[in-house]
Amino acid sequence: MSLLNDIYNLKEGIRTKRVSSYDRTGGNADYVTIHAGDTAVLADIPGAGIIKHIWFTLNTEDKMIRRNAVLRMYWDGETEPSVEAPLGDFFGQGWGEEYNFISLPLAAAPAKGKALNCYFPMPFGSGARITLQNESDEPIKAFFYYIDYEEHREVPASMGRFHAWWNRELTEVHPEAGENEWSMIAPEGKNRGDANNYLFADIEGKGHFVGVNYYVDSPGPMWYGEGDDMWLVDGEDWPGSLHGTGTEDFFNSSWCPNEVYMHPYFGYARVPDKLGWMGRTHCYRFLLEEPVYFDKSLRASIEHGHDNNLTLDLSTVSYWYQMEPHKPFPALPAKEKRRNMPEIRPKDVHLWRHEWRQALGGGTRLWGHEPKENKPEDGQ
């Protein structure tokens, strides 16, 4: 159905309103300043309505502000946020970076991804509150924003509330096999459960899951994406009613992609330019045509490499709608725990090569392809 199909139908009992950072004096200082450590209330809307669009941009000396500022949203007077995520991660920018991002519900627009947009509709029945906490040591000197919403007399009880949760994990590998993607070290293991997977949704209640931004930083050049996505609905046992076949498959691509591609529903907004898949990749998938429905609970996870055999820095923002109350989120890690892992550089790879040479006896003409079982004689 076309998005324009309903645009000609006239509505009753709805008013369009906006909360913004416009200069109340009539001047041109159309922004607010958020000092280090402060929390700004961007919107505190009474009554019933639906937020339809959010736009943010900002100016600060802190290059990591997109990780150091935390966005929270509260519906209907709740004390536990329904949305809690670092600013950039929520809008589709990982690692505190700025880059363009295009999707249907979220976008980071020019100049160079500095304009953050959200089109997820967000209903509320008795109030909406949106805050931004500046956990940086620097002030946000200028924060500009629009929050466009509809004011309704009431909203139906069937309207789920919008939720978003950020998670992060530096994944571990099996100590016996190590990093063994594609059976390069040993035969592949079998993963008959989701206990060691990376978790991106742990929801209680009735609702439906509509998308995820998936940020992976790989310290090695191997393909990171042999991980199956696994969904356990309403407490069902593994393998569940939805079980995937690989990371790129879940993100609607194929054959280990490493190129920027942005569809309204899925894509790769950022890819590394290094050796293989070493570095930072941002994948996204919005299940707007095929939400995952649940009546009691949803546990969604993905392997980090087949049988969870890769060390990766994984972070995600998941998006869903559900009836309140929701399960409170785990405590958001302090900003020190949200820092990026150090970048793997050419000198690190050179040091790895040195250790590999030593493991093969320190031969003087080792090229780099020689397997350990065919170790050459010293000096060869």
Give per-residue pLDDT as tens, 53-97: 999 999 999 999 999 999 999 999 999 999 999 999 999 999 999
Pick from 250, 270, 248: nearest CA to 95: 270
Average pLDDT over residues 158-178: 93
Lowest-confidence range among 2-11, 225-234, 286-295? 2-11
For residue 316, pLDDT over 70 is answered with yes
pLDDT at residue 375 in the model: 55
pTM for this predicted structure? 0.95
Taking residues 165-190, report their average pLDDT: 89
Amino acid at 155: V
Which alpha helices (H) appear in 25-169, and where do they start and end?
65-68, 87-91
Q: Check residue 299 and give its pLDDT.
A: 98
User: Whole-number mean pLDDT of the chain?
Assistant: 95
* Interatomic CA distance for residues 221 and 277, integer angstroms: 5
E strands in 61-139: 69-75, 83-86, 101-102, 106-109, 115-118, 122-124, 128-134
Residue 2 or 186, more confident: 186
CATH classification for the domain delimited by 14-152, as one of 1.10.600.10, 3.30.1160.10, 2.60.120.1390, 2.40.50.100: 2.60.120.1390
Q: Is the pLDDT of residue 374 over 90?
A: no
Q: Say whether pLDDT at 185 is over 90.
A: no
- Does position 166 have pLDDT exceeding 70, yes or no? yes
Same topology between domain 14-152 and domain 161-338: yes
Is the domain spanning 161-338 CATH 2.30.40.10? The answer is no
The model's confidence at residue 378, banded by pLDDT at 50, 70 and 90, is: very low
The pLDDT tens digits of the residues spanning 125-161 come to 999 999 999 999 999 999 999 999 999 999 998 999 9
Q: How confident is the model at residue 379 (pLDDT cuts 50, 70, 90)?
A: very low
By C-alpha distance, which of 331, 337, 311, 340 is closest to 165? 331
Q: How far apart are CA 374 and CA 233, in angstroms?
A: 49
Model pLDDT, residue 120: 98
Q: Residue 1: pLDDT above 90? A: no
How many Cα neighbours within 13 Å face the side chain of 51? 30
Query: What are the residue boundaries of the structural domains of the chain, listed by start?
Result: 14-152, 161-338
208 three-class SS:
strand
**Phi-psi category of 252—alpha, beta or left, where left has phi over 0 and alpha has psi -120 to 50?**
left
188, 307 Cβ separation under 8 angstroms: yes
Helix (H, G, I), strand (E, B) or coil at 127: coil
Pairing of strands 140-152, 83-86: unpaired
| 372 or 198, higher pLDDT | 198
